[in-house]
Amino acid sequence: METWKIQVGEAVVVSNILKAKDTWELELNLGNDLDVTAFLPGQFVCLAPLDPSSTMARPFSIASISTFNGTFSLLYKVIGKNTELMARLAVGEKVKFWGPLGQGFLPNTDEYDEVWLIGGGIGIAPLIFYEKVVSEFQGGIVRVFYGNKTGAEIIPLDLYCQEPLIIVTDDGSIGCQGFVTDVVQAYMKVANEKKILVITCGPKVMMRKVADICQQAGQDCYVILETIMACGLGVCLGCSIKTSSGMKRICHDGPVFPAKEVIWDELS
Amino acid sequence: MSSVNLGVEIGGIRLKNPIMPASGTFGNGEEFAGIQGMDLSALGALVTKGTTLEPRAGNPQPRIRETASGMINFIGLANPGVKAFIEEKLPFMAQFETPIIVNVSGFTLNEYVRMAELLDQVPSVAGLEINISCPNVEGGRIPFGSDAQIAANVIRAVRRATKLPLIVKLTPNVTDIVPIAKAVVDVGANAISMINTVRAAFIDRGKIIQGGLSGPAIKPIALCLINQVSQAVNVPIIGMGGISTLQDIFDFFQVGASAVAIGTANFKNPLVMMALIDQLEKYCLEHGLANIDQVKARIKGGKG
């Protein structure tokens, strides 16, 4: 029997704010019956689609929790009908949600000199949660690398770690110009004997490159995979992928996977 | 305790209410059991994920695509195989005192027979749902269920292999479904479940993916076909195809279904079956109806 419980309920919109171009932060309150303290970094929630003609659940990474307020927040990019409707949600409105979903992954940071969190685009969302948790536990250095196409899409981040945020944009409008993976590569070259834990989330091509860099440098890398899901619960098998350790459901067995298990060509 | 009895009998299986999950949308119950507010013992039946003789990894990505009021799946009957199912999955399901209907899928006639023989020996199995929509690899990959004679051959052979109630799941992807329904009933099917998904395709980056369409988009197709079959056979029908509301269930009752299965709707509301059972009971109480026969009589009188 599963030891975890998936909560289901109507969450109330506390705030719904445009943070960068097409990118919003939605904060939801679970009320008295539900409990955000069970939410772990790497986990996600599903929201029922707002478009009545939609049939599939909408998965979103948990970007932060506030145990004091009983709220959690997620980041979303407006890319279609449902996210357009999400952007119109007003404070006080309710959305059906279920979660937390997936296996949370809490790294044993004592084993590492540094933890690197590498996000691309909206993939920064779960890393915001990681950054807070890891900064609380980690004695060593925590670095956040955040890549996006342009500065307009970069959301402002309040970080807990000491190291400055490393922003990389394709056009150089904010931060370094180029790909975030190039900057990671450069940092890795001078990392020498340090033992580094890398957690990455973003476009497949970016994560694959990060995984390559880590493999060549002999560093541990975990990837947070994103995909279309129908249920988010592990029953529809719509997100199952072949990995080096067998068939895995991204929603239920992941979404955090050791990079070395991922067969990149098997991802859609 | 209320005075309402929602019980129905399907091919010799007593269900406490007419609402169950559709195969493939409920796993084998373990995941749903972890959901707050979900009670597997409240359901009419537990219907398993499609099970095959040998383990199957299933298809590569992409496996699913949302369409207008529907979704296409191309899962490929991923499952651990019947032996692992019996040993590893069934004991969990058996603790809820809810009848377990095992969905049996085969690619040769002998696979169906072998599975029926194995499952016949397992006390916790209440009945078999025989999925005859699979391609017959010994018959030009034409689905068993698309030909009345071939469908009857499968069910006749399975009938000899087990005394368990047989529910035959019909595919809608045929020219005329009625002769197929009649043929399987003639050789011993105790009930019909319908409809399986409607053959459909989506395009993924230049690649054409053929799968099965489910969800509200196929409800009118299901209603039409159940209406035809219910007039031609005298066994109970489990209706399915895009059900998500109480009114949908009533529409399926109206065309002749005795029970219903909820499929795709579980994905956008994991507690939808619990809500529908609750709504059905409240409806009966509100209208002074004591059982499902009285519900059907009221609906057929034009009152929703």
For A265, which residue in chain B has the nearest alpha carbon?
B61
User: What is chain B's mean pLDDT, rounded?
Assistant: 96
CA distance A113 to B41: 50
Homologous superfamily of A7-101? Translation factors (2.40.30.10)
Query: Could you report the predicted ipTM of this complex, rounded to two decimals?
Result: 0.94
CA distance linking residue B184 with residue B158, whole number of Å: 11
At B1 the pLDDT is 46
Q: What's residue A35's pLDDT?
A: 82
Output the pLDDT for position B117. 98
pLDDT the model gives residue A138: 67
Interface touch A48/B268, C-beta < 8 Å: yes
CB pairs under 8 A between A and B: 114
Domain ranges of chain A: 7-101, 109-224
pLDDT tens-digit profile of A84-110? 999 999 999 999 999 999 998 888 888
Helix, strand, or coil here: B16?
A: coil
Helix (H, G, I), strand (E, B) or coil at B104: strand
Among B67, B33, B29, B65, smallest CA distance to B47 is for: B29
Task: Give the number of residues written for chain A.
Answer: 268
Full-model pTM: 0.95
Residue B2: pLDDT over 80: no
On whether residue B2 sits in a domain, the answer given is no
Residue B304 scores a pLDDT above 80: no
Q: Which residue spans within chain B are E strands per DSSP?
A: 8-10, 13-15, 19-21, 46-47, 64-67, 70-73, 100-105, 125-131, 135-136, 142-143, 166-169, 191-194, 198-204, 207-214, 237-239, 259-262
Please determine whether the domains at A7-101 and A109-224 fall in the same fold group of CATH.
no
Question: Do residue A247 and residue B61 have CB atoms under 8 angstroms apart?
Answer: no
* pLDDT given for residue B194 in this prediction: 98
Pairwise CB contact (< 8 Å): B30 & A7: no
Across residues A156-178, what is the average pLDDT? Answer: 93
Q: How far apart are CA A30 and CA A34, in angstroms?
A: 5
**DSSP summary character for residue B210:** E
Decide if B134 is inside a domain.
yes
**Active-site residue set of B:** 134
- d(Cα B14, Cα B16) in Å, to the nearest integer? 7
B271: left (phi over 0), alpha (psi -120 to 50) or beta: alpha
Select the residue of A228, A233, A267 nearest B64 (Cβ to Cβ): A228
Any idea which of A28-37, A252-261, B262-271, B292-301 has the lowest mean pLDDT?
A: A28-37
B15-43 per-residue burial string, b: 16 or more CB within 10 A, e: under 16: bbbbbbbbbbbbbbbbbbbbbeebebeeb
Among partner residues B36, B61, B264, which is closest to A268 by beta-carbon distance?
Answer: B61
Question: Tokens 């580094």 sit at which residue?
Answer: A196
Residue A2 has pLDDT above 50, yes or no: no
Chain A nearest-CA distance from B161, in A, is: 30
Give B-chain residues touching A266 at CB under 8 angstroms. Answer: 60-61
Mean pLDDT of A5-34: 92
Residues of chain B in contact with residue A53, where contact means CB-CB under 8 angstroms, are 68-69, 216
Query: Which chain A residue has the Cα nearest residue B64?
Result: A238
- Quote the domain boundaries for residue B220: 8-300
Question: Touching check for A47 and chain B: CB below 8 Å?
Answer: no
Q: How far is CA B193 from CA A16, A231, B29, B172, B222, in A?
A: 45, 23, 20, 11, 11
**Residue A33: pLDDT over 80:** no
- Closest of A268, A266, A240 to residue A252, by C-alpha: A240
In which band, very low, low, confident or very high, does the pLDDT at B191 lie, cut at 50, 70 and 90? Answer: very high
Residue at B188 is within a domain: yes
Instruction: Determine the pLDDT at residue A47.
Output: 97
* Most B CBs within 10 Å, among A55, A82, A240, to test the B interface: A55
Q: Is residue B3 part of a domain?
A: no
CATH number of the domain where residue B172 is located? 3.20.20.70
B60-91 pLDDT, tens per residue?
999 999 999 999 999 999 999 999 999 999 99
pLDDT > 90? residue B139: no
Q: Looking at residues B7-28, what average pLDDT do you find?
A: 97
Asked if pLDDT for residue B54 goes beyond 50, the answer is yes
Tally the domains of chain B: 1
Integer distance in angstroms from the first to the last C-alpha of chain B? 25
The predicted model gives A201-221 an average pLDDT of: 97
pLDDT over 70 percentage in chain A: 98
Residue-wise DSSP of A176-226: EES-HHHHHHHHHHT-TT--EEEEEES-HHHHHHHHHHHHHHT-EEEEE--
Q: Which fold has domain A109-224?
A: Rossmann fold (3.40.50)
